[in-house]
Structure 1
Amino acid sequence: MMHAADLPDTIPVFPLPGALMLPRARLPLHIFEPRYLAMIEDCLKTKHRLIGMIQPRDTPASEKREGEKRLQAIGCAGRLTGFSETEDGRYMVTLSGISRFRIKEEVQGFTPYRRCLVDWAPFARDLGPTENDPGFKREAFMALLGRYFAKLNLSTDWDNLKGAEIELLINSLSMLCPFSHEDRQALLEAPTLDTRRETLVTLIEFALRGGADEEIMQ
């Protein structure tokens, strides 16, 4: 487990539209672009091995910095815990979510990838134990999820979902369900697990109401 004192002031950031990582969750990545190959190599040389996953904002071309999109204010850093290299030089990596962060400013430098000065303080609870959600009603939630998966023709291992710990279940669904970039950002910024679950339920209900008049689950 990492502690607040272990977190660096500056981290490399990987702007990836639609990618969502959350504390204590895992995100596999396929790295092939040269600047991000360099980022992984540099990350492996550090003690903390942290990379910040963040979504770019949809901004007019005139507001882009040297052709690069502006970044969302909040992202999530993951520790590089899995690494393998393919025969053609691509990297397959796994990041384990550590803590969310707020960007203070982007650091100008000589690396081909982007780096940011970040503030961890607003998300101190991310470094704590697994969160619980006392208001979670598994039976009603799974019924709602079943309707959602059926509507979208999605398949899953229902036995594993039914037995999953609450935090793992909510965070995994937040990362894997086909939500918009804006919705993923809202899930990331939810301050607690219960507010993330409420946001997730709202998004699922909204998707269901798009094709049928569904009853809202309270």
Structure 2
Amino acid sequence: MMSPADLPDTIPLFPLPGALLLPRAVLPLHIFEPRYLAMLEDCLKTPHRLIGMVQPLEGGSAGQSRLHEIGCAGRVTQFSETEDGRYMITLSGISRFRIRREVTGFLPYVKADVSWSDFTRDLGKEEEDSNFDREVFLKLLSRYFEAAGLQTDWSSLEEADDELLVNSLSMLCPFSLEEKQALLEAPHLTDRRETLTALMEFTCRGGGNEEMIQ
């Protein structure tokens, strides 16, 4: 487990639309663009091996950052190279961060000075949700999957602990970029579960992303 002292002031950013990472969760990634292959090679040379996952902004205007201010950093815990030079990697979520400023330079990828101070709880133990009614939640989840035309391994979901269940669904369900960002920025597990519940209920009522995001 990493401590606050282990977290660097500057990290590389990987702005991948729809790819949400949360603390203590894992995210598999396929790296093939030359600029991100360079990013990965540089990352593997560092002691922390952190990459910051961040969502692009939708409809950003000229002169403004094209990235959301808050992302989540993951440590490269597994990687393998294919015969044609691509990489399959696994990021293990460590902590969310706030972008202070993007670092300009001659690198082909983006780096940023970041602050971790708002998310010290991310480095602690698994969160608990004392108000979580799992039976009611799983019934809603079943209706959501049916409405969204999705399938899953129900035995794995039923066996997952509260944090793994909520965070995995937040990462995997096909929500919009702004909805994914809302799930990321939820302060605590209870807030994330409530946001996730509201998004699933909206889908079950036949709503669309355009109506949900104002």
TM over 0.5: yes
Q: Return the alpha-carbon distance in structure 1 between the equivalents of residues 98 and 150 of structure 2.
A: 34
Q: What's 2:197 paired with?
A: 201
Matched, 1:49 2:49: yes
Q: Return the alpha-carbon distance in structure 2 between the equivalents of residues 10 and 59 of structure 1.
A: 26
Aligned partners of 2:55 and 2:68 also within 8 Å = yes
Q: Which amino acid aligns with 1:172?
A: S
Aligned pairs for 1:1-218 within 5 A: 1-60=1-60, 62-63=62-63, 70-210=66-206
Size of the aligned set, in residue pairs, is 207
Q: Which runs of 5+ in 1 are unaligned?
A: 212-218
Q: Return the alpha-carbon distance in structure 1 between the equivalents of residues 58 and 192 of structure 2.
A: 23
1:26-82 Cα shifts (integer Å, max 9, x gaps): 000001000000000000000000000001112356346xxxx61100000000001
Q: What's 2:211 paired with?
A: none
- 3-state SS in 1 of match to 2:62: helix
Q: Return the alpha-carbon distance in structure 2 between the equivalents of residues 90 and 139 of structure 1.
A: 42
- 3-state SS in 1 of match to 2:127: coil
Q: Which amino acid aligns with 1:85?
A: E
Q: Which runs of 5+ in 2 are unaligned?
A: 208-214
- 3-state SS in 1 of match to 2:96: strand
- 3-state SS in 1 of match to 2:195: helix
C-alpha deviation, 1:154, in angstroms: 1.1
C-alpha deviation, 1:137, in angstroms: 0.3
Q: Which amino acid aligns with 1:17?
A: P
Q: Return the alpha-carbon distance in structure 2 between the equivalents of residues 115 and 85 of structure 1.
A: 24
Q: Which amino acid aligns with 1:205?
A: E
Aligned partners of 2:60 and 2:66 also within 8 Å = no
Q: Return the alpha-carbon distance in structure 1 between the equivalents of residues 94 and 150 of structure 2.
A: 29
Aligned partners of 2:15 and 2:67 also within 8 Å = yes
Aligned partners of 2:73 and 2:96 also within 8 Å = yes
TM-score by length of 1: 0.92
C-alpha deviation, 1:162, in angstroms: 0.8
Q: What's 2:210 paired with?
A: none
